[in-house]
Structure 1
Amino acid sequence: MGRPKRALGELGKVTYTVESSGLIVARARVHDGSGKEHRPNGSGATEDEALAALRASADVAVGRVLAPRTQILTVSELATSWLKVAYHDDDPRVLRQRREQTVDGYASVIRAHIVPRAGAIPIAEITVDRADGLLIDIAREKSVMTANKVRNVMSLMFDWAIQQGHFSAAGSIQQTRYGAVVVANPIRATRRADEPDTVYFELDAVQVKYILHLIREVWPERHRARYPVGRRPNYKLLADYILITLGTSERTAEPIAIRFQDVKFEAVEQPDGSLTMEALVWVGGTMVRTKSRGLFRQDSPKAERQKRWVRVPQFATKVLSELVANHVPDPERNPDDVLITSERGRPRDASAIGELLRMFRREFEPELLAIGVDAEHLTFRSLRKAVAAAVSDTAGVEVARDLLGHSDEAITEGHYAKRPELIVEVAAEALNKVFAGIDG
C-alpha cells in the first residue's frame, strides 16, 4: 500500500540539522496549487522556532491561497490580531495604509469599549441583534458619537475576519429574535446612530474683536489679581492662534505645523498706488502624537489631497509676519523649523492649545453669553465653521470648499457652510471684509 497523498500546502517529513554555529535548521517538502514541489527551510535556536520558521517559509512558497489560518475564537482575540495588521498591511492592493495615529485611535476604542463589553464572546455568536443591543447601550451610557466609533471599528474587524477565513459569515444564516436572517458582516447590518444636526456657528467682527479684547487685556489683569504669583496662561498665543485659524481655516493641529518655509510674503499694489504686504501659507502638515513616536510633524494635513496654498487676510498676515520676524532656527529642539513653539523652543502640542481655549471659556462664560456666543460652541473647529460661513456667504461655496480643503462642496455645505447668496472672487478678500479691524 502506497503512502497517503499529502494535501496541497501540507508539509512532508520534517528533518532537523544543527549548523556549526548551533543554529537548528528545519527542512521539508511541500506542493503548491499547481502540483509543483518546493523545499522550504527555516531556522531557529530551538526545534520549535525552526519549525515555525519553516511553516512561514512554506506559506510563502505555496502562496497565500493555501496558507493555513489560525482560528480566532473571541472578539478580544480578533481585535488583537486585527490591530497587528491594521497599520502594517503588506497587501499590494492597498495604496494608502492607515496612519499610525488612526490605528492608535482604533486601539483606544477597543480597549475602552469593545473588549470590556464583548471581549469574551465568540465571534460566531455576534449576531446582528446582539451587536445592535451593544451599540444601543453605548449610545445611552456614553454618547451617540462613541457608539458610531465602536460600530465602525467592529465592522472593520469583522470584514478582516471574513477576508482571512477566521469564520464563515458570508451568506450564513443566523437566528435572531426576529427569525432567521442571512447576513455577511453582522456589524454592517446594525443601525448607524443619527448624530446631532450641525450647529452653524457665525462670528462677526465685533464679537471676535471683543473676544480678543478679553484675552489680551481683561484676562491678564483678572488672573494677576486672583493669582499674584505662579505661571500665567499664554494669552498672546491664544489670540494669535484664533487669528491664524480665522485667516487660514486650518484644523486645530495644523497652525502649529506651519514651518518658516511655509510662509511667503508678496507686496501688492493697491488701486490708490499704495503697497500692502500679503501672505501666502502652505497648508501641508499637521502635528500628531502616537505611542511609538510621541509628538511629531506629519508631512500632510488630514489627507494628502488637502495640501494647498492659502492667501490669508491682513489680520492673519500681521500675526504671521511677527512670527517669521521673531523666528530663530534650532535644528536640535525644532528639527521641522515650525513657527509656533513652546517656551523651550520645542513644537507645540494641539492638546495644550485646546486646554488654553477651554480655560478662557470657563473664565468668561457670562461675558461670552452676553455678546451672543455660547461658550460651549467656541472651539477651534467652530472658528473653522465661522470662516466657512463668512466665505460661502460672500465668495461662494466653491471658494469655501477650496479654502477648507474639501473634495466635495457637499461636505462644506453639510458640515460647515450654508448656501451663499452673493458671489465675489477670493476668500482672503471676503475674510478681510467680514472681520475688518479685529486686530486693531
Structure 2
Amino acid sequence: MARPKRALGELGKVTYTVEGSGLVVARGRVHDGNGRERRPSGSGATEAEALAALQEAADVAVGRVLARRTQLMTVAELATAWLKTAYHDDDPRVLRQRREQTVDGYASVVRAHVTPRAGAIRIADITADRADGLLMDIAREKSVTTANKVRNVMSLMFDWAIQQGHFSAAGSIQQTRYGAVVVANPIRATRRADEPNTVYFELDAVQVKYILHLIRDVWPERHRARYPVGRRPNYKLLADYILITLGTSERTAEPIAIRFQDVRFEAVEQPDGSLTMEALVWVGGTMVRTKSRGLFRQDSPKAERQKRWDRVPKFAAKVLSELVASHVPNPERNPDDVLFITERGRPRDPSAVGELLRMFRREFKPELLAIGVDAEHLTFRSLRKAVAAAVSNTAGVEVARDLLGHSDAAITEGHYAKRPDLIVEIAADALDEVFAGIDA
C-alpha cells in the first residue's frame, strides 16, 4: 500500500542530532508549493526549540501563504508578536518602513487600552460584536478619538494575524448572539466612530498683536509681581514661535527643526527701484522623540513629499534674521545646527514650547475671551488653521494647499480652510496683508 502523500507544509519524519557544542539540530522533509521535496533544518538548545526552528524553516520553504499554522494565541500575545514585527519588518516588499515614533504610538495604545481590556481573550474568540462593544466602552469612558485609535491598532494586528496564518483570511465561523457568522478581520466589521466636527480658527492682525502684547509686556510684569524669585517663562521663545508658525504654516514640531542652512535671504528689486530682503525657509524636517533614540531631528516633515521652500512674510523674516544672526555652531551639543536651542545649546523639545503656550492660555483666559479668542482653541495647530484661512480667503484654497504642503485641496478645505519646490509668491503676500503690523 502506497504511503499517503504529505500535505503542503506537513513535516515528514523529524530526526535530531546533537552537535559537539551541545546544539540540537532538527531535520525533516517538506513539499513546497510546486510539489518539490525540500529538506529544511532548525537548531536550538533543546529538541523543542529545534523543532520550532525547523517548522519556521519549513514555512519559509513552502511559502508563507501556504504554510499551516495551528497556534492559538491571546490578544496580548498577538500584540507582542505584531509590535516586534512592526519595529523590525524585514519584508523586502516594504519600501517605506513605519517610523519608530509611529510604532511607539501603537505600543502606547496597546499598553493603555488593548491589553488591559482584551489581552487575555483568544483571538479566535474576538467577534465583531464583542469588538464593537469594547470600542463603544472606550468611546464612553475615554473619547471617540481614543476609540478610533484602538480600532485602527487592533485592525492592523488582526490583518497581520491573518497574513501569518493565525486567523483565517477566507473567513472563520464564529458563534455570536445573532447565530453563526463568517468573518475575516472582525475589527473591520465594527463601526468607526464619527470624529467631532472640525473647528475652523481665524485670527486677525489686531488679535495677534494683542496676544503678542500679552506675552511680551503683560506676562513678564505679572509673573514678576507674583513670583519675585525663580525661573521665568521664556516669553521671547513663545512670541518668536508664534510668529514663525504664522509665517511658515509649519506643524508644531517643524519650526523648532529649522537649521541654519535652511534659511536663505535674497535681495529683491521693487518696482520703485529699491531693494528689499526676503527670506525663504526650507521645510524639510521635524523634531521627534522615540524610546530608543530620545529627541532628534527627523530629516523630513510629516511626509517626504511635503518638503518645500516657503517664502515667509516680513514679520517671520524679522525673527529668522535675529535667530540666524545670533546663531553659534556647536557640533557637539547641536549636531544638526538647528536655530531654536536651549540655554545649554541643545535642540529644544517641542513639548516644552507646547507647555509654554498652555501656561499662557491658563494665565490669560479672560483676556483672550475678551478679544474673541477661545483659549482652548489657541494651539499651534490652530495657528496653522489661521494661516490656512488667511491665505485661502485672500489668495484661494489652491495657494493655501501648497503653503501647508497638502497633496489635495480637499484636505485643506476639510480640515483647515472652509508641491511645488518653491511656494508661490502670493502666499507670503497674503500673510503680509492679513497680519500687517503684528511685529511692531
Question: Can you list the C-alpha shifts for 1:131-171, whole angstroms capped at 9, x where unaligned?
Answer: 11111111111111111111111111111112222122643
Structure 2 letter corresponding to 1:337: D
Using the alignment, how far apart are the partners of 2:135 and 2:38 within structure 1?
A: 49
Using the alignment, how far apart are the partners of 2:19 and 2:131 within structure 1?
A: 52
**Alpha-carbon RMSD:** 2.1
Using the alignment, how far apart are the partners of 2:312 and 2:12 within structure 1?
A: 66
Q: 1:265 to 1:233 in 2, by over 3 A?
A: same
How far has the Cα of 1:3 moved from its partner? 6.6
How far has the Cα of 1:18 moved from its partner? 2.3
SS at match of 1:196: coil
Using the alignment, how far apart are the partners of 1:327 and 1:100 within structure 2?
A: 30
Using the alignment, how far apart are the partners of 1:86 and 1:275 within structure 2?
A: 54
After the TM superposition, which residues 15-414 of structure 1 pair with which residues of structure 2 at under 5 Å, given as runs?
15-19=16-20, 22=21, 24=23, 26=25, 28-33=27-32, 34-44=34-44, 49-69=49-69, 71-168=71-168, 170-414=170-414
Contact kept in structure 1, 2:171 and 2:184, CA below 8 Å: yes
Using the alignment, how far apart are the partners of 2:175 and 2:70 within structure 1?
A: 26
Using the alignment, how far apart are the partners of 1:181 and 1:40 within structure 2?
A: 39
Contact kept in structure 1, 2:27 and 2:42, CA below 8 Å: no
Using the alignment, how far apart are the partners of 1:315 and 1:230 within structure 2?
A: 32
SS at match of 2:282: strand
Partner residue in 2 for 1:421? none
SS at match of 2:265: strand
Q: How many residues align?
A: 433
Question: Can you list the C-alpha shifts for 1:185-234, whole angstroms capped at 9, x where unaligned?
Answer: 22111111111111111000010011011111111111111111111111
SS at match of 1:264: strand
Using the alignment, how far apart are the partners of 1:193 and 1:112 within structure 2?
A: 19
Using the alignment, how far apart are the partners of 2:390 and 2:245 within structure 1?
A: 13
After TM superposition, the structure 1 stretch with the greater mean CA deviation from structure 2, 70-79 or 9-18, is 9-18
Partner residue in 2 for 1:12? 13
Using the alignment, how far apart are the partners of 1:27 and 1:127 within structure 2?
A: 38
How far has the Cα of 1:431 moved from its partner? 0.2
Using the alignment, how far apart are the partners of 2:49 and 2:38 within structure 1?
A: 20
After TM superposition, the structure 1 stretch with the greater mean CA deviation from structure 2, 391-400 or 172-181, is 172-181
Q: 1:262 to 1:172 in 2, by over 3 A?
A: same
Using the alignment, how far apart are the partners of 1:23 and 1:328 within structure 2?
A: 59
SS at match of 1:188: helix
Q: Which runs of 5+ in 1 are unaligned?
A: 419-423
Partner residue in 1 for 2:421? none
Using the alignment, how far apart are the partners of 2:405 and 2:87 within structure 1?
A: 25
Q: 1:307 to 1:200 in 2, by over 3 A?
A: same
Structure 2 letter corresponding to 1:329: P
Q: Which runs of 5+ in 2 are unaligned?
A: 419-423
Q: 1:394 to 1:109 in 2, by over 3 A?
A: same
Using the alignment, how far apart are the partners of 1:72 and 1:108 within structure 2?
A: 24
Using the alignment, how far apart are the partners of 2:282 and 2:438 within structure 1?
A: 23
Contact kept in structure 2, 1:162 and 1:170, CA below 8 Å: no
Using the alignment, how far apart are the partners of 2:107 and 2:305 within structure 1?
A: 26
Using the alignment, how far apart are the partners of 1:235 and 1:13 within structure 2?
A: 72
TM-score (norm 2): 0.93
